[in-house]
Amino acid sequence: MRPDLALQLLADLLWNALLISAPLLAVTLLVGLLISVIQVVTQVQEASLTFIPKVIAAVVVLVVCGPWMLKRLVGFSTTLIANIPTYF
């Protein structure tokens, strides 16, 4: 295997991982930030108040973006497995 090919495969892997995880991470970050601001304003420091909305937001994102995430992951895996003979 050529070193440049290994680096290209690693770059593709990391890029796909970033794209697949970005919607989930972004939404949970925004929900957590919003809940934290509300907690500071109301001075209510309850741990479950941050946890439950983040879980609900994550489930919604997975339901909405899940098919796209799976399609992207399957496409990458299919391409990677189909090209195994060309790597050697």
Residue 16: pLDDT over 90: yes
Rg of the chain over Cα atoms, rounded to whole angstroms, equals 19
> How far is Cα 66 from Cα 69, in angstroms, rounded to an integer?
5
Note the helical H segments in 1-88: 3-42, 47-82
Residue 22 confidence class, pLDDT cut points 50, 70, 90: very high
Question: What is the DSSP-derived secondary structure letter of residue 44?
Answer: -
Residue 61: Cβ within 10 Å count: 18
- The answer, as to whether pTM is greater than 0.85, is no
